[in-house]
């Protein structure tokens, strides 16, 4: 479904992603693991098109602060230069880190905004899906999102991403700052979303909670791929297990 080949991302003279290649097959849950500042968010943003958007914005100002090279194929189509809106229309949807929501809008208004490219009937269906996936959201649907807990905001953020009907759902550190109980709830949702036919690429710093659900994983340091393999293969690697899985 997604092929990233020899991806390079520079911010001025800083190398954020270094000759990185990865693949996500249809129906998989694939993890990208690494420490803080390893390049995970830059990779996720580049796949979603946000880095390209920033690059074009800098170019319009007369600057050349961001440079991107390599190949990126989605369902066989080259998308490296595609706009973020084009990627969303094709089914690539990013759920960004730190559960970004429209804080002055209600929960249901946030979910509606997530589906702005879809028909009204699809939006209603996806809102219903979000409430079924996260039952607490239905009783909170009229409450302003900014008044919710971090875990509740993460549910809203995931629901917003799902409202766009993703084929590939990109999740950037969905467990960041959540309690262990809420982490388990999000991992449960990831498993259920995958069973409903959505392919998932997720990035996490502390990988242990998501290891039971991933099919394959990539570990990166300083923007460079250092090891990849199945979940079992990564857990069997003592250095990886100690550094990233807390075991």
Is 159 inside a domain boundary? yes
Residues 6+ apart with CB under 8 A from 2: 22, 23, 24, 47, 72, 73, 74, 92, 168, 199, 201
DSSP state of 237: -
Q: What pLDDT sits at residue 5?
A: 96
Contact predicate 235/217, CB 8 Å: no
Q: What pLDDT sits at residue 63?
A: 63
Number of domains forming the structure of the chain: 1
Q: What pLDDT sits at residue 236?
A: 83
Q: In a structure prediction context, what are the per-residue pLDDT tens digits for the chain, which is 247 residues long? A: 999 999 999 988 789 999 999 999 999 999 999 888 889 999 999 999 999 888 877 766 666 688 899 999 999 999 998 999 899 989 999 998 877 889 999 999 999 988 877 788 888 898 999 999 999 999 999 999 999 998 999 999 999 999 989 999 999 999 988 899 999 999 999 999 999 999 999 999 878 889 889 999 999 999 999 999 988 888 888 877 776 665 5
Is 146 inside a domain boundary? yes
Which of 153, 155, 161 shows the shortest CA–CA distance to 198? 161
Contact predicate 163/127, CB 8 Å: yes
Is 154 inside a domain boundary? yes
Q: Report the alpha-carbon distance of residue 122 to residue 118 in Å, rounded.
A: 6
The model carries a pTM of 0.90
Q: Report the alpha-carbon distance of residue 240 to residue 247 in Å, rounded.
A: 9
Is 228 inside a domain boundary? no
Q: Report the alpha-carbon distance of residue 237 to residue 48 in Å, rounded.
A: 30
Is 149 inside a domain boundary? yes
- In the sheet that holds 29-33, the strands lie side by side as 92-95, 168-172, 199-204, 29-33, 216-221, 224-230
Residue with tokens 């809420």: 182
Q: What pLDDT sits at residue 116?
A: 76
Query: H or E segment at 203?
Result: strand 199-204
Is 226 inside a domain boundary? no
Residues 6+ apart with CB under 8 A from 233: none
Is 87 inside a domain boundary? no
Is 187 inside a domain boundary? no
Domain extent at residue 155: 102-164
Q: Report the alpha-carbon distance of residue 127 to residue 112 in Å, rounded.
A: 7
And the tokens for 242?
């100690």
Q: Are strands 216-221 and 224-230 parallel, antiparallel or unpaired?
A: antiparallel
């Amino acid at each position: 479904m997604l092929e990233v080949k020899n991806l390079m991302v520079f911010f001025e003279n800083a190398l954020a992603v270094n000759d990185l290649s990865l693949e996500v097959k249809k129906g998989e849950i694939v993890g990208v693991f690494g420490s803080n500042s390893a390049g995970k968010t830059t990779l996720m943003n580049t796949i979603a098109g946000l880095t390209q958007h920033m690059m074009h914005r800098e170019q319009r100002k007369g600057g050349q602060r961001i440079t991107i090279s390599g190949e990126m194929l989605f369902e066989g189509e080259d998308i490296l230069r595609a706009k973020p809106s084009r990627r969303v229309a094709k089914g690539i949807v990013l759920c960004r880190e730190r559960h970004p929501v429209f804080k002055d809008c209600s929960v249901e208004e946030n979910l509606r905004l997530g589906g702005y490219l879809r028909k009204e009937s699809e939006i209603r269906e996806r809102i219903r899906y979000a409430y079924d996936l996260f039952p607490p959201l239905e009783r909170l649907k009229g409450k302003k999102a900014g008044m919710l807990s971090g875990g509740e905001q993460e549910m809203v953020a995931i629901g917003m991403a799902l409202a766009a009907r993703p084929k590939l759902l990109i999740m950037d550190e969905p467990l960041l700052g959540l309690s262990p109980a809420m982490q388990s709830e999000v991992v449960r949702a990831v498993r259920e979303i995958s069973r409903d036919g959505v392919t998932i690429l997720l990035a996490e710093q502390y990988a242990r909670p998501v290891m039971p659900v991933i099919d394959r994983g990539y570990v990166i340091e300083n923007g460079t791929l250092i090891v990849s393999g199945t979940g079992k293969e990564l857990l069997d690697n003592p250095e990886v297990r100690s550094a990233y899985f807390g075991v």
